[in-house]
Amino acid sequence: MKTLLLQIFTWWNGQTLGTRFHTWRHGKRVGEDALGNVYYEGGSDSEGRTRRWVIYNGPSEASAIPPGWHGWMHHRTDVSPASETYAAKTWEQAHQLNLTGTGGAYRPKGSILNQGARPHVTGDYDAWTPKS
């Protein structure tokens, strides 16, 4: 029941009622990735292409779509990773969650939120002053 209420009143938790209805009416399940996101296609978009969408496993986070599925979602390929033996390239890194706004966010040296000491200024910088 809690999941249904979240889907009714929020757009960032899984799917909205509109997406649920569209998926039920037009959606054909294409596949699922390792993170549990489920991919669908069906109907046509404004450019006449087959409409493609994802229902996230958890909060809607666009960076949670793996590279192979990203190419399929954006019509860069007509073959989904579920339909072929897709293997990640050697240079591809594993997915990392977007930690912006959390305690695990990147905080460079000199940041107010960083616990370390601010780096010492070397003196190679002259502050700008008007009419100088």
Q: For the chain, what are the domain ranges? A: 2-83
H or E element at residue 42: strand 38-44
120 contact partners, CB below 8 Å, separation of at least 6: none
Identify which has the larger pLDDT, 78 or 123.
Answer: 78
Residue 55 per-residue DSSP state? E
By C-alpha distance, which of 67, 4, 8, 5 is closest to 35?
A: 67
From residue 18, alpha-carbon distances to 61, 88, 102, 110, 128 in Å are 18, 33, 30, 46, 55
From residue 64, alpha-carbon distances to 70, 101, 121, 123 in Å are 10, 17, 39, 44
Segment 95-118, tens digit of pLDDT: 777 888 888 888 887 777 777 666
Segment 6-51, tens digit of pLDDT: 656 665 566 666 666 556 667 788 889 888 898 998 888 888 888 8
User: Dihedral sign, CA of 97, 52, 26, 80?
Assistant: negative
The predicted structure's pLDDT at residue 13: 60
pTM of this structure: 0.62
The predicted structure's pLDDT at residue 78: 85
